[in-house]
Amino acid sequence: MKSVKLTFLSIALIAAMSACNSSKKMSAPATAEPTKPEETEFWEPVPAIVKPGMTPSDAPSDAIVLFDGKGSGEWEQADGKDFAWTIADGAMTVKPKTGDVHTKRSFGDCQLHIEWRTPAEVSGTSQGRGNSGIFLQERYELQVLDNYDNRTYSNGQASSIYKQSVPLVNACKGPGDWQTYDVVYKAPVFDASGNRTSPGYITVFHNGVLTQNHTEIKGTTEYIGWPKNIAHGEAPIKLQDHGNLVSYRNIWIRRL
């Protein structure tokens, strides 16, 4: 009887070991662990060559220059009328009460470089001081405002996603100084039924300082009410006439 019990025990051990080995085989990676350095080197695809600008303000070789200080060729009034903003000294400046301007071309995912300046002569407080805005796809506002020693609501200050996301820090220069936004924008995605399947995201460097870090865009910019999400495709970049003499220069964009 003792030998029979040992036989059964031996069979059970063999079965358990077999199951264990089978389990190990099933959990093994699809490919063997590389043993040579070249086995983890990828030579395709080869990244396209892009010549960078001489300075951070200069457009790289694959960028579309939207404004180089010489004319309004890429821009028009958002209401379809003739371009009315002032172009002088390499900059275009809001002409109050003429309305917003936008690009003639439409864009989606992009890298955007844009420089802006609020008036050197300080006038007004809070939202009444150097106010304008940059709208991605004409719907999502990156706020432009003079917030150098100028308190306002935090989700409405410079570098905020207006009425949505507070910037990580206040990186504003003083009134009359040129300032820079470098933006990486991922457009929202909608399905064939008009439902949003992926939100938009934005990363912003204000004067070289990270102020929005892959921030989710909740929807359209609304002055009153909550953001909305209505299906759309590519759309222009819009600059806002908010009644203040805000200037822009060195604007370029790369499609992503």
Backbone angles phi, psi at 11, to 5 degrees: -65, -40
Average of per-residue pLDDT across 5-30: 45
**Please, are residues 129 and 150 in contact by the beta-carbon 8 Å criterion?**
yes
Instruction: Give the pLDDT confidence score for residue 30 in this predicted structure.
Output: 67
Per-residue pLDDT reduced to its tens digit, 69-120: 998 999 999 998 889 999 999 999 999 999 999 999 999 999 999 999 999 9
Question: Which pair of tokens denotes residue 119?
Answer: 């008036």
Per-residue pLDDT reduced to its tens digit, 32-57: 999 999 999 999 999 999 999 999 89
- Tally DSSP H helices, then E strands, for the chain: 1, 15
The Cβ of residue 24 has, within 10 Å, a number of other Cβ atoms equal to: 9
- Using DSSP's 3-state secondary structure scheme, residue 13 falls into helix
CA distance 206 to 209: 5
Instruction: Give the pLDDT confidence score for residue 11 in this predicted structure.
Output: 39
Rounded to a whole number, what is the distance in angstroms from the first to the last CA of the chain? 77
Question: Which pair of tokens denotes residue 219?
Answer: 């929807």
Instruction: Give the pLDDT confidence score for residue 4 in this predicted structure.
Output: 40
Tell me the domain boundaries of the chain. Answer: 2-35, 64-255
Instruction: Give the pLDDT confidence score for residue 31 in this predicted structure.
Output: 80
Total number of residues shown for the chain: 256
Omega cis (within 30) before 45: yes
Instruction: Give the pLDDT confidence score for residue 43 in this predicted structure.
Output: 95
Average of per-residue pLDDT across 185-203: 98
CATH of domain 64-255: 2.60.120.560
Per-residue pLDDT reduced to its tens digit, 207-246: 999 999 999 999 999 999 999 999 999 999 999 999 999 9
Instruction: Report whether pLDDT(1) > 60.
Output: no
Instruction: Report whether pLDDT(15) > 70.
Output: no
**Please, are residues 138 and 104 in contact by the beta-carbon 8 Å criterion?**
no
Instruction: Give the pLDDT confidence score for residue 2 in this predicted structure.
Output: 45
Measuring CA to CA, which residue among 175, 173, 176 is closest to residue 159?
A: 173
Instruction: Give the pLDDT confidence score for residue 29 in this predicted structure.
Output: 58
